[in-house]
Amino acid sequence: MTTHSTVSAVAEMLAGGPGILLPRERSGALRTFGPAAYDLAGTPRPAPSLVLFTSGSTGTPKGVALGRDALVASARATEDLLSGPGRWHLCLPVNHIAGLQVVLRALLAGAPPTVASPAPAGAPAFDPQRFADDLAQTLRAAGDAPVYTSLVPTQLTRVLQSPKSAQVLARTSAVLLGGASISPRLLERAADAGVPIVRTYGMSETAGGCVYDGLPFPEVDVRIAGDGRIVLAGPVLADGYVRVDEDPISLTAIPHPPAPLEGQADSPADGRTDCRTDCRVDGPADLDRAADLPLAGGFHGEGPQRVLVTSDLGRWDDSATDGRLGDGSRQPAEGAGERPRIDVLGRADDVIVTGGENVSPHEVETALLPLAEPLGYAEVLVTARADEEWGEVLVALLVPDIARATGSSVSTGSEGSAGSGGSVGSVGSVGSDGSGGSHGSDAAGGRAQRPVPVPDAVLETLKTGLRSRGIAGPRVPRFAVEVDALPVKSIGKPDRAAARTLGEAAPPVDG
């Protein structure tokens, strides 16, 4: 799939042309479809304008069906929250919503995006100097117009390792950053370099980012469900999911439950209502009530009343209500400053159960990375391994800071990624479009990794530091090992299944 073909297809779609089916892999072919390819299956949904696969899609192909209105609502909200329409530089895969939105925002602003130059044979897939050269050309051509780009943390890490590249990036009006956890230290380094970072939270189901720097888009309603999961509503939501048959293209709407179908009151004493029989979530107006219910994940309801129960855990930060984005130079819509920010704590299905306690690896990673960096480590990821006594125990995977050790910037091999609110180092080869490529093997050569225990003094320093930060008991990793690279999935997201394999392979010596 070429970027040129994607730009042309998106332009036609925006003008009322055929819908777009994006491929699973960036090397696949973009295809288009008409209304006849869509089976409503008894739902009131219109034919989608864009269908793309989620990164977790397995088994029978299932796609996210987005309408033109949702895509445009997302793009216009981004313009309103930044510095207005501008020029966009693309270096993300266009078969993911983050890259596709760069194309769409650029076209709505009146010009196609500039595109990252392809890597020469044998060169690193993402090179900070090549990126800076491309971006500098975009800045010169833009004149007084604002220039934006969108990166994953892996890419930002590399750019900041090159002072000249960081200087170019600092000349942009905003850098949208998302796709994986974002280390607080990475944000500090970006701020020191003058790079105007805007942290984004969103997904394919929300047409891209719908929360910037912890603040929801003005028309996006966010609630926290009783189990801590984030619940979303608003005009940026996808219409729903579709079953996809690709030869020939056939799309079939998957109906949504009108009410949460999971979660049950085990006894009247637990204070919950059995939402399978007694409750309905009838749309955004019911989100306050829904926040007290144990909801089934996915979409609920149809049309304007639909809501999305995510798999992400969140909490409100009432201490941060200034309503400012990035460096404070951009103000959101009127009234946004009165809302607290939301902290995204990681995925609910990433929770590790150890000694009967539920532990969010994201929370531990956030506390661990600032402790590990002074000891010579660039990235961390917390996983688990089976334990006879505790069921599971935590294992910290640490990647040495190669740039610090060699005194030079890293142009090949592994590198860190991160995401909204906490620290994860996701390391691996980075594709020419910025997507991660390593899956549990050495990024430099595909060799199987052999975790090596850190020195006892390092482990004890990390444990002591965590306890001083309120991370104690089973939330403290029992093991810490060095690895060459952290495994990642698409667009820089950590591959926690592969990380678990590395954790299980850690030498059985309790620190």
List the domain boundaries for the chain: 349-504
Cα 413 to Cα 421: distance, rounded to the nearest angstrom: 26
How high is the mean pLDDT of the chain? 80
- Position 162 scores a pLDDT of 92
- Report residue 317 as tokens: 């930060």
The answer to whether residue 482 scores a pLDDT higher than 50 is yes
CA distance 81 to 282: 29
pLDDT interval class at 448 (50, 70, 90): low
Residue 333, pLDDT above cutoff 70? no
Q: What is the pLDDT of residue 154?
A: 81
CB within 8 Å of 393: residues ≥ 6 apart: 354, 384, 385, 387, 474, 477, 478, 479
Question: Helix crossing, 68-81 with 97-108: angle to 10°?
Answer: 70
Q: Above 90 in pLDDT, residue 287? A: no
The predicted pLDDT at position 319 comes to 67
For 234-257, how does the pLDDT look when each residue is reduced to its tens digit (9 = 90+)? 999 999 999 999 889 999 999 988
pTM: predicted TM-score of the whole model, two decimal places:
0.76
Tokens of 366: 């956030």
Cα distance between residue 199 and residue 177, in whole Å: 5
Encoded tokens for 272: 């919950």
Tell which residue, 172, 166, 202, has the closest CA to residue 83.
Answer: 172
CATH number for 349-504 (one of 3.50.50.60, 2.30.30.40, 3.30.300.30, 3.40.190.290): it is 3.30.300.30
pLDDT digits (tens, 9 = 90+) for 384-418: 999 888 889 999 999 998 755 544 333 222 222 22
User: Given strand 38-39, what is the order of strands in its sheet?
Assistant: 31-33, 19-21, 50-53, 62-66, 240-246, 249-254, 38-39
